[in-house]
Chains A and B, each alone.
Chain A
């Protein structure tokens, strides 16, 4: 299976769509952070506690990361489906579980892990410029960032399921993004109509919850405005984030694999 993963990586490394997606995920936050003046305006610089503020900003435009995850995951799982080159893996005697798993692993690494890392680069960059910020607990933040991988994995798995079922990376991207938009609308409606707060049930909301400060207050310390955040990570947050994410991930991948295993290849 290691050879299969290497061959998928070989293709992904040469895929312009994948590289552009990473660039998009990397550039957009930087541009937006610059636009908000975090790097430039002294007043804002004073206001921000650095790292956490950047993370909070990211939660505001995390949709870009989600787009990146959808594109890259679709290409990882179904890029070889569209041109049927995946058939060579089966014809070469690899078991279908290995052919499927290799693409899933590549999809999760390229689509979830790398996206998270790239997304965090501007935030870490900002922390280097503005400082970590005395008002936040570093350990809490690291836990929150690490937890963010779980909704990413879940989204990546959902996209991979859609792309694998349709056997087309392009269609997987369209369906993945449509599903994201649809679930966001349903979430908004549910909260509005039933007054039911959806947090962990939807990957996007889960991620926002992880990156959003709670109970922030603004204090004037030594004549300067300072925001203080409650960054504590509750056990409920950890359990529900991991539980919901892994539960859905297993479900999505199981559905996709059963179909992949049973279906004749055209």
Chain B
């Protein structure tokens, strides 16, 4: 059985009248790559800040590496690294100087580690260029270098591919994959670029308005995003009832705008259309389609799933 390195139980975070997290419960397994998905203001950063000790929960419990008390959580954080919101840095210092400051505060004895991580994120040639002259992509890379500095077992990364160009995204994706597979580093990644997450993650957490909307493994999400039969008829309400009662299909949805979607027995398209026809319902459109992760995400955050 996989070991849970983070467990959040019934967590609520209130900022004045606004509830940033609402009864959130989740687990993060060791060795997984978790995609944290939600729109702006969904509560992703708040969740990460609480894990990082930057914010306190109003209610609920946080357990990391088996610890729930402050001392234990701080010890757990020494095994983790975080990149939350924009990567912070000293603007008037170079990438190397910024990392040197972090190396000192983390108590990492080996100075060479700075060159290693700069190379890993492709920032080894920035020389004396100060961070204030960095592009957003370079800042992201510096943030990643900082997160890698202490050889963490678990990385929590907020929008890590923001500002990267397409080749940079591929490169960082490969880096994450290699960190996970070769070094057994657990990753929690939030991103708006869902297609990127779908290429990487083993688990997904959907969050909106501070509430967990769904937790899936990659296989489960793949199943949820898989193909469906799209049917539009002259009487969708009756058609829906017929499909439910006469075709033995339970996973379907009937909407006003897009007709009927059937998510099972996809090979029985001919039988379904015959049943509809025999019962006086005229199919106007029958097609096999696919739900993209983006579609599923939109449905999830809009409570349509």
A-chain residues with CB within 8 Å of residue B98 when the two chains form the complex: 85
Contact partner of B74 (CB less than 8 A), chosen from A83, A84, A94, is A94
Q: How far is A10 from B71 in the complex, measured between Cα atoms in Å? A: 27
Interface: B181 (CB within 8 A): no
Interface of A is mostly: helix
Q: Sample 22 A-B pairs with CB under 8 A, ordered by A number.
A: A3-B104, A7-B101, A10-B104, A11-B101, A83-B89, A83-B91, A84-B88, A85-B101, A87-B54, A87-B84, A88-B102, A88-B146, A89-B105, A90-B53, A93-B53, A93-B80, A95-B70, A264-B15, A264-B54, A264-B56, A265-B49, A265-B55
Q: Which residues of B contact A14 (CB under 8 A)?
A: 92-93, 97
Chain B residue contacts of A234, Cβ below 8 A: none
A residues within 8 Å of B by Cβ? Answer: 3-4, 6-7, 10-11, 14, 16, 83-85, 87-95, 264-265
Q: Are B89 and A92 neighbours in the complex by a CB distance under 8 Å? A: no
User: Given the complex of chains A and B, what is the CA–CA distance between A265 and B88 in angstroms?
Assistant: 13
Interface residues on B, range: 35 or more
- Interface contacts beyond A7-B105, A83-B89, A83-B90: sample of 17 additional A-B pairs, CB < 8 Å, sorted by A: A3-B105, A4-B105, A6-B104, A6-B105, A10-B101, A10-B104, A14-B97, A85-B90, A85-B101, A87-B88, A91-B81, A92-B77, A92-B102, A94-B105, A95-B71, A95-B74, A265-B49
Residue B160 interfacial (CB < 8 Å): no
B155 to chain A, nearest CB (A): 11
Least distance between B73 CB and chain A CB atoms (Å): 8
Are A93 and B74 interface neighbours, CB within 8 A? yes
Contacts A7-B105, A265-B49 hold; do A88 and B88 have CB atoms under 8 A apart?
Answer: yes
Q: Is B106 an interface residue (CB 8 A)?
A: yes
Q: Give the chain B neighbours of A10 by CB distance below 8 A.
A: 100-101, 104
Shortest A84–chain B CB gap in Å is 4
**A90 CA to B101 CA in the complex, in Å?**
14
| Cross-chain contact A92 with B150 (CB below 8 angstroms) | yes
- With the chains together, A87 CA to B146 CA distance in Å? 13
Which residues on A sit within 8 Å (CB–CB) of B90?
11, 83, 85
Q: Which residues of B contact A93 (CB under 8 A)?
A: 53, 74-78, 80
Contacts of B100 in A (CB 8 A): 10
Closest chain-A Cβ to B57's Cβ sits at a distance in Å of: 10
Which residues of B in the span 48-67 have a Cβ within 8 Å of any Cβ on A?
Answer: 49, 52-56
